[in-house]
């Protein structure tokens, strides 16, 4: 009877928006397990069972009510499909529940269930296999969001009126989810969240304090809050230790300092990611001690979003790095090296006064080293060698792994004689370094051959690399452990192997 008293159109409209933004099915059931409102595309596995035996669907949900309590959100294992379920109360009476998911899956023997609903066991296995799993951070966030949703929906629907503040909060949650999952930079996401919190809570200012790997970073909504860093550290530390929200009602009195009235009270919310405190969000105002429990819950959800945004930004940075760095040697990979070279050639006119040099190197008899010591030791040699090369070049020189045991070095601004000296320095640094297992190599040491091209004319990257490769080939063919240099003059004139060093 209770659902007949509610505005189910309003309920569905809000629930639909949530389902769309989180990309999961959300549905509401009554106390008997009947589905009342469904939002989003549900996993075929659950719909298959419900279409065959709705009574089984109802029974499974009905039995879960024994575990539900007010303000308690739990996991619901629906024949191996893991969902989030939270009770719905109206006037302190449980009238149903909101279910979200599936968020993951667990192994399950479908033989009995398949027989009960009249399908092949393989069909259930295939349907269950299509269930996607979400991250731990998302699961924790969605549990909090669904809990808030189940608390707001019955109140709004029962009164048949929209509560502006709660609607704004729901809308903000949608917007924040979009931002966190977008390609916006972390600083822009945090600015928008801080702006919203200041406006919604009628606060004066807001900041986000991030501590990670002994590094600290502070993001401020307004500049005035920049001077409160020591206070933020102290309050954030207390919030982190207690793992809960900390409120300071009178900063002047608490810290025996003078701050503006609009900054005299403060709320600090710890940012938690994978059970680890990574910082805090700090809100300032004249009197923030009167924030309601619902308001604090909402701020907590925003804090969860910020923590996920920080994690996403870190992950994005790692992905960006992986896209340009060779995993084994930590030098630039071939694609990114060529991008940097082409960018330089596009932006600079090469002349006698502004030349460049390019070196292509190859480890001599690397195949013998691999065959003698094995590929793991060969990988180690590559890593050690690139460190030696890095120590022998300038900070502005760019090093990349061209492929296999070949490395490539781009040196802007070096004239032909300077480039030759640089190449010799690299060659000698490698020859003089004591590498593990070098005694098995010809001559008892690890050496490299170098093809050097010095260029004083505008050419493309392919021509440069082609000349360096040709010089390297000659260095290998005429004895190894040497530098062969070629020079590209103005008007595309080229010299033949102008200098050989052994």
> Which CATH number characterizes residue 130's domain?
3.30.450
Mean of per-residue pLDDT scores for the chain = 85
Residues 6+ apart with CB under 8 A from 213: none
Tell me: the pLDDT tens digits for 444-489?
999 999 999 999 888 889 989 999 999 999 999 998 999 999 998 8
Whether 156 shows a pLDDT value over 90: the answer reads no
User: How far apart, in whole angstroms, are the C-alpha atoms of residue 268 and residue 284?
Assistant: 9
Residue recorded with tokens 């629906």? 78
User: How far apart, in whole angstroms, are the C-alpha atoms of residue 185 and residue 320?
Assistant: 13
Check residue 212 and give its pLDDT: 66
Tell me: the pLDDT tens digits for 395-441?
899 999 998 899 999 999 999 999 999 999 999 999 999 999 999 99
The band of 318, judged by pLDDT with boundaries at 50, 70 and 90, is low
Q: Are residues 345 and 470 in the same domain?
A: yes
Question: Is residue 12, in this structure, part of any structural domain at all?
Answer: yes
User: How far apart, in whole angstroms, are the C-alpha atoms of residue 72 and residue 81?
Assistant: 20
Q: Are residues 450 and 473 in the same domain?
A: yes
Question: Is residue 338, in this structure, part of any structural domain at all?
Answer: yes
**Domain total for the chain?**
3
Residue recorded with tokens 């009167």? 290
CATH number for position 243: 3.30.450.40
Question: Is residue 484, in this structure, part of any structural domain at all?
Answer: yes
472 closest CA partner among 364, 379, 352: 364
Tell me: the pLDDT tens digits for 62-74?
999 988 887 688 9
Question: Is residue 368, in this structure, part of any structural domain at all?
Answer: yes
Backbone angles phi, psi at 465, to 5 degrees: -65, -35
Q: Are residues 66 and 82 in the same domain?
A: yes
Q: Are residues 184 and 267 in the same domain?
A: yes
Picking from 159, 191, 218, the residue at the C-terminal end of a domain is 159
Residue recorded with tokens 């502005």? 396
Q: Are residues 88 and 212 in the same domain?
A: no
* Structural domain that includes position 398: 334-501
Least confidently predicted of 92-96, 164-168, 237-241 = 164-168
Tokens standing for 36? 């009342």
Q: Are residues 351 and 474 in the same domain?
A: yes
Tell me: the pLDDT tens digits for 352-393?
889 999 999 999 999 999 999 999 999 999 999 999 999 999
Q: Are residues 129 and 183 in the same domain?
A: no
Q: Are residues 199 and 119 in the same domain?
A: no
Question: Is residue 70, in this structure, part of any structural domain at all?
Answer: yes
Question: Is residue 145, in this structure, part of any structural domain at all?
Answer: yes
Q: Which residue has the higher pLDDT, 349 or 168?
A: 349
Picking from 130, 159, 188, the residue at the C-terminal end of a domain is 159
* 3-state helix vs strand vs coil in the chain, percent to 5: 50, 25, 25
Backbone angles phi, psi at 387, to 5 degrees: -65, -40
The band of 292, judged by pLDDT with boundaries at 50, 70 and 90, is low
CATH number for position 372: 3.30.70.270
Picking from 159, 193, 215, the residue at the C-terminal end of a domain is 159
Question: Is residue 329, in this structure, part of any structural domain at all?
Answer: no
3-state secondary structure of 201: coil
Q: Are residues 76 and 92 in the same domain?
A: yes
Q: Are residues 435 and 479 in the same domain?
A: yes
Tell me: the pLDDT tens digits for 293-313?
767 777 777 777 777 777 776
Tokens standing for 215? 């590094």
The band of 236, judged by pLDDT with boundaries at 50, 70 and 90, is confident
The band of 214, judged by pLDDT with boundaries at 50, 70 and 90, is low
Mean pLDDT along residues 244-257: 87
Mean pLDDT along residues 116-120: 93
The band of 213, judged by pLDDT with boundaries at 50, 70 and 90, is low
Q: Which residue has the higher pLDDT, 155 or 349?
A: 349
Q: Are residues 470 and 493 in the same domain?
A: yes
Q: Are residues 180 and 139 in the same domain?
A: no
Question: Is residue 78, in this structure, part of any structural domain at all?
Answer: yes
User: How far apart, in whole angstroms, are the C-alpha atoms of residue 75 and residue 344?
Assistant: 55
272 closest CA partner among 308, 298, 219: 308
Task: Tell me how far the alpha carbon of residue 77 is from its chain's centroid.
Answer: 29
């Amino acid at each position: 009877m209770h659902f007949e008293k509610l505005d189910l159109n309003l309920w569905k409209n809000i629930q639909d928006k949530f389902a769309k933004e989180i990309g999961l099915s959300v549905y509401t059931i009554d106390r008997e397990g009947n589905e009342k409102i469904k939002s989003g595309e549900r996993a075929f596995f659950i719909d298959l069972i419900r279409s065959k035996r709705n009574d089984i669907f109802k029974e499974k949900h009905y039995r879960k009510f024994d575990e539900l309590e007010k303000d308690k959100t739990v996991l619901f294992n629906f024949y191996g499909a893991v969902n989030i379920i939270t009770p719905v109360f109206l006037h302190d009476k449980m009238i149903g529940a909101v279910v979200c998911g599936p968020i993951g899956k667990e192994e399950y023997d479908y033989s009995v269930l398949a027989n009960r609903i009249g399908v092949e066991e393989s069909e259930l296995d295939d349907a269950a296999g299509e269930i996607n799993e979400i991250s731990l951070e998302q699961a924790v966030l969605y549990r909090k969001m669904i809990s808030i949703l189940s608390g707001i929906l019955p109140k709004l629907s029962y009164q048949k009126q929209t509560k502006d503040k709660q609607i704004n909060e729901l809308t903000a949650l949608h917007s924040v989810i979009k931002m966190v999952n977008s390609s916006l930079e972390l600083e822009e996401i945090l600015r928008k969240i801080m702006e919203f919190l200041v406006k919604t809570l009628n606060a004066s200012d807001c900041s986000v304090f991030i501590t990670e790997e002994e590094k600290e970073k502070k993001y401020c909504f307004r500049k005035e809050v920049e001077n409160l860093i020591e206070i933020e550290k102290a309050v954030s530390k207390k919030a982190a230790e207690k793992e809960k929200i900390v409120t300071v009602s009178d900063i002047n009195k608490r810290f025996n300092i003078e701050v503006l009235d609009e900054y005299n009270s403060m709320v600090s919310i710890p940012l938690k990611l994978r059970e680890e405190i990574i910082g805090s969000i700090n809100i300032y105002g004249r009197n923030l001690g009167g924030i309601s429990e619902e308001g604090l819950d909402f701020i907590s959800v925003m804090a969860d979003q910020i923590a996920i945004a920080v994690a996403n930004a870190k992950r994005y940075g790692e992905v960006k790095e992986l896209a340009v760095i060779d995993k084994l040697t930590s030098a630039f990979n071939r694609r990114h090296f060529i991008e940097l070279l082409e960018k330089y050639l596009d932006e600079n006119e090469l002349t006698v006064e502004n030349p460049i040099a390019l070196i292509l190197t190859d480890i001599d008899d690397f195949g013998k080293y691999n065959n003698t010591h094995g590929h793991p030791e060969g990988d180690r040699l590559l890593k050690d060698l690139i460190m030696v090369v890095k120590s022998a070049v300038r900070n502005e020189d760019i090093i990349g792994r061209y492929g296999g045991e070949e490395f490539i070095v781009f040196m802007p601004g070096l004239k032909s004689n300077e480039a030759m000296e640089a190449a010799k320095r690299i060659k000698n640094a490698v020859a003089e370094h004591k590498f593990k297992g070098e005694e098995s190599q010809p001559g008892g040491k690890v050496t490299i051959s170098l093809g050097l091209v010095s260029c004083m004319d505008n050419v493309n990257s392919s021509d440069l690399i082609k000349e360096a490769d040709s010089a390297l080939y000659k260095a290998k063919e005429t004895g190894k452990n040497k530098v062969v240099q070629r020079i590209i003059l103005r008007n595309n004139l080229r010299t033949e192997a102008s200098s050989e060093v052994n």
